[in-house]
Homo-oligomer: A and B are copies of this chain.
C-alpha cells in the first residue's frame, strides 16, 4: 500500500509494541503518567470541571461501565470517564507540555487510555504502550499543524483528538487500516478555538474533555468498521487545508521509531500557562541572585516569542484565577512577591493589590532570538529595572521541567502530593499507594481502579 504520511503514522501507532520502546522512554512515560494523575485530581473543585461531571452524570450510565472518574470515585462508561478526567487534568495548568508542538499530551492521552484500559481489563504494558502511541502521534500532528494553526486553534484540542484516537486505537488493537479510519474520524471532529481567552471563559477544559472523548469515539467507531478519510491530516480538504498555513507533512513521520517525542515532553513547575514559564524562571534567577525585594522593582520586560503575545496578550485584567494563569504580569508578580507561582499563590493572591501593582509593571516585548528558537526551544529573557535605576538582565536556556532540566521522581511525587492536597481529592497515603502502582505499572497484569471502589455494576 502507498505510504502517505497519515498512513505511515497510523501504521506506526497500530504496530507499536512495548518491547520497541526504549526503557528510558518508558520510564519517562511512567513519570508523565504520575504527573498527570496529580493534575487530574487538582481540578476536582473547578466549577467548569464540576459542570462537565454533572453533564456526564445526566447523560451517562448509572454505576457500572468499568471506568473511573478520579475526582468523584464513581465508575461510568469509558466515554464519560475520559471526558471528565480530561477536563479535570487541564484545570490547574500543571499538566505536561511538549515544547515543539505546543501540545499538552497527558491531559488528552491518559484519560482516554486509562478509561478504556480499566473497562477492558488491559494490562499495564498495554496501557503504557497505547499512551506512548498517543504521545508520539499527537506531538507530531501538533508539529505538523505548525505555528499558524496555534494562532487561532488550541492545538491540545485539535491534535489532541487524533492523539486520543491513536492511543485508544492501539489499546483496542486496531489494524493499521482501521487506525487510519480512526485518524479520519478523529481529525474531522478536531476543534478548539482560542477566542475564549479574551473572556476568561471555561472552554479550555471543554477542549480537553472533547479531545479525549471524541478521539475515543473515533477509535471505537473504527473498530466497528466505520471508515474515515485516509488523508485527514494532509489532504486537500483535511485539517491542514482548513486550519493551517504552514503545515509541513514531513513532521508527521519525523524519526518514527527512533526519535521518541514522548521523552521530549516537559513537566510544568509553575502553575500557569507554559508561555509564562521561561520569563518566570529568568525573573526568579535575577531575584535570587540580587536578593531583590518586590518594592525594589520598577519595571519588568519579558522578552518573548510571538505565541506568547498571541495567547497572553489578550489578558490584561484577569478576573479569575484561571485567567490569571494567562497573565504574564500576574505570574511575574507572584514570582517577585513569593518567589513561587504555585496553585496556592494563585488561589490566594492573584487579585491581591500588591500583585496587581507588580502586574502593571510588567510588559512583554517580541524578541527575535526567543521567537526564532521557538517552539523547539523556549528561551526565557527578562530585563528588570530597579527603583534605584539599575538595569538587570537574566536568561534561562531551558526552563525548569524541560528534559534537560527535569524533575526527579521525588520532585514529581512532591508535586502530585501538593496537587492532591490542594483539592483534597486524595490523602497522602492514598497518593503514595498510587505512586507505587504507577512505578510498577509495567508489571501490572490488569489495570484496575486507583481510587474508586471495585466495580459496582
Q: Which residues of A are at the interface with B, using a C-beta cutoff of 8 A?
A: 47-48, 51-52, 54-55, 58-62, 77-80, 151-153, 157, 181, 184-185, 187-203, 206-207, 210, 214, 217, 220-221, 224-232, 235-239, 241-243
In contact, A193 and B59 (Cβ under 8 angstroms): no
Given contacts A80-B59, A185-B206, A191-B190, contact A51 B197 (CB under 8 A): no
**Knowing A55-B220, A202-B226 touch, does A195 contact B231 (C-beta < 8 A)?**
yes
Q: A54-B224, A58-B220 are in contact. Are A238 and B206 (CB under 8 A)?
A: no
Partner of A217, one of B47, B55, B238: B55
Given contacts A58-B77, A62-B62, A194-B237, 15 further A-B contacts (CB under 8 A): A47-B226, A48-B226, A51-B221, A51-B224, A55-B220, A59-B80, A61-B61, A153-B242, A185-B203, A185-B206, A188-B192, A188-B206, A203-B229, A206-B226, A243-B243
Nearest opposing residue in chain B for A187, CB measure: B193
Q: Are A152 and B196 CB-contacts (below 8 A) given A58-B220, A188-B203, A189-B210? A: no
Q: Is the CB of A231 within 8 A of B188?
A: no
Asked whether B231 lies within 8 Å of A198 as measured between CB atoms, the reply is yes
Looking across the interface, which residue of chain B has its beta carbon closest to that of A235?
A: B195
A226 touches B184 (CB 8 A): no
Which B residues lie within 8 Å of A242 (CB)?
152-153, 193, 243
Contacts A59-B77, A61-B60, A206-B226; A232 near B195 (Cβ below 8 A) = yes
Contact status B202-A228, CB under 8 Å: yes
Distance (whole angstroms) from the CB of A377 to the closest CB of chain B: 25
Name the residue in A80, A187, A229, A241 with the highest tally of chain B Cβ atoms < 10 Å from its Cβ.
A229
B184 engages A203 (CB within 8 Å): yes
Contact B227 A201 (CB under 8 A): yes
Contact B221 A206, beta carbon cutoff 8 Å: yes
Closest to A64 in B: B62
Complex: A446 Cα to B296 Cα, angstroms: 69
Contact between chains at B189 and A201 (CB < 8 Å): no
Q: In the complex the two chains form, is B214's CB within 8 Å of A210's CB?
A: yes
Some 12 contacts from A to B, beta carbons below 8 A apart, are A48-B226, A52-B226, A60-B60, A60-B77, A152-B242, A181-B201, A190-B191, A193-B229, A195-B236, A199-B228, A201-B228, A201-B229
Q: How far, in whole Å, are A207 and B218 apart by their CA atoms in the complex? A: 12
Q: How far is the CB of A315 from chain B (nearest CB, A)?
A: 13
B61 touches A78 (CB 8 A): no
A200 to B184, CA, bound (A): 12
> What distance in Å separates the Cβ of A69 from its nearest Cβ neighbour in chain B?
14
User: Residue of B at shortest CB range from A80?
Assistant: B59
Q: Compute how far the CA of A157 lies from the CA of B232 in the bound complex, rounded to whole angstroms.
A: 16
**Pairwise interchain contact B185-A188, C-beta atoms closer than 8 A:** no
- Residue pair A51, B196 in contact (C-beta under 8 Å): no
